[in-house]
Amino acid sequence: KKVVSDKSFSFLDISFKLYNNNASVFNTDNNSNFEKRFFSVYKDEPPFIIHNYFKKINDDLSIEIYFSSNDVFFHNRKFQKLFVNKRAVMTNFFYPAVDSGIRNYISPGRHPLIFLYININPALIDINIHPAKKEIKFFDQNKIFSEIQKIISEGISNIINKDLYN
């Protein structure tokens, strides 16, 4: 299920159907709506609002984040994922960057939904770290760490400010 769900979140514009013993595990449409995709894949989760924030840093780098409000969190990191150039990957600093970005809004030990999509010039990363290409290395890891931290903080801050002034 994990491989197909990761692919479905990598390609929101493609529909996915997963069956196990002729029983539907999940079925998504191709409307590019992250929130609908999330609740199609994770049917057992109670509904909550998923926010979106996008930032173009420069011609070589843009970051998009989907995240839950600061009052919706989980006791583990099962809904914290990193996608780089439409591939689910890991880096050694992703969770520390997330924790740094949320620290002013969410208590330690609580983990909001954070699906982070980085589009980066392929010349700025090394994908040959892991045989299955599951782990990547950014040539400027400090910059990426900082940008992840900033976009998470900005996204959550924007939602809190909207709630305060509406």
Distance CA 74, CA 72 (A): 7
Written as six digits, the tokens of 20 are 């196990």
Q: What tens-digit pLDDT sequence spans the chain (166 residues)?
A: 889 999 999 999 999 999 999 999 999 988 889 999 999 999 999 999 999 999 999 999 999 999 998 889 999 999 999 999 999 999 999 999 999 999 999 988 999 999 999 999 999 999 988 777 789 999 999 999 999 999 999 999 998 877 666 5
**The residue type at 123:** A
